[in-house]
Amino acid sequence: MTESTSIEQRGYAHPELLVNTDWVVEHKDDPNIRLLESNEDILLYDTGHIPGALKIDWHDDLNDRLRRDYVSKEAFEELASRLGLTPETTVVFYGDKNNWWATYALWVFQLFGHDNARIMDGGRLKWSEEGREWTREVPQVERTKYQASERDDARIRAFRDDVLKHLEKKGQLVDVRSPQEYSGEKLHMPEYPQEGAMRGGHIPTAKNIPWARAVNADGTFKSADDLREIYEKEQGLSPNAETIAYCRIGERSSHTWFVLSYLLGYPNVRNYDGSWTEWGNLVNAPIER
């Protein structure tokens, strides 16, 4: 299928989790929809964003400022209230880097029970390539009083001990980093500072399926058939097996979590956000190269 094939025609298990750029334009004045931009480059929003979109700062808004963890229930409620959200608001995320930080934000929102969330297929790249409107105007929204669920870390998140137990059970692992990181040649992607872990390599038995293989040149997701060709036929993943995905800090693996969970419909996928910055620093943790 080509990049222009409609979302409904691509064979996804849950096509409702994606919207296209036309849909965003058509719903720009819908008060029950909130467009949120989440980028790796937290200054990018200020240079121009989709009209009506608000900014998610992945570092300050979603992460605890002291502990390596996500924000508390109370901090998430403050964020959602500031953004003018209610539990019934349909949140549509988009961003740079083929939406990897958009899927990261969606994943964190789901930790707090906000499942009414979607991804704008293609992100900033697609919007830009279509020559659509950008603005620097920050919309003013009415503050709400959002009440979140207690953060549920068990359903879609994996911790270090979970990974160790998963290894004992010979569970299915997906390393979504670059081949150079997987081999231990590098500690981060080639164009980034090589820091964050004492050792390079990968968790034993993990399959290396770089996250960006799931997208087309215009940033849109590949069809379900093309994705199955990569994950199942080429790499041998079993759709029904319990699966844990990881990268360096959990952001690229949130993208793969989204692909496996919603586009291919795998029923039991968790994101190990400790990822290589934790595993590569663990004393006596098993590593392969």
- Domain layout of the chain by residue ranges: 7-129, 157-279
Q: Quick one: fold of 7-129?
A: Oxidized Rhodanese; domain 1 (3.40.250)
Which residues in the chain come in under a pLDDT of 50?
A: none
| Distance from C-alpha of 222 to C-alpha of 102, rounded to nearest angstrom | 17
Tokens of 179: 């081949």
- Determine the residue type at 235: Q
Q: Give the predicted TM-score (pTM) of the model.
A: 0.96
pLDDT of amino acid 1: 52
227, two tokens? 């994705």
Q: Is 226 helix (H, G, I), strand (E, B) or coil?
A: helix
The pLDDT, as a whole number, for residue 5 is 80
Asked, colleague to colleague, whether 7-129 and 157-279 share their fold, the answer is yes
pLDDT score recorded for residue 3: 55
3-state SS class at 110:
helix
CA distance 112 to 227: 28
Distance separating alpha carbons of residues 120 and 279, to the nearest angstrom:
32
State the pLDDT at residue 186: 87
Determine the pLDDT at residue 179.
96
Tell me, yes or no, if 109 is annotated catalytic.
no
Identify the pLDDT of residue 192. 77
From 247, 249, 264, 269, the catalytic residue: 247
Q: How far is the C-alpha of 28 from the C-alpha of 192, rounded, in Å?
A: 36
CATH number of 157-279: 3.40.250.10
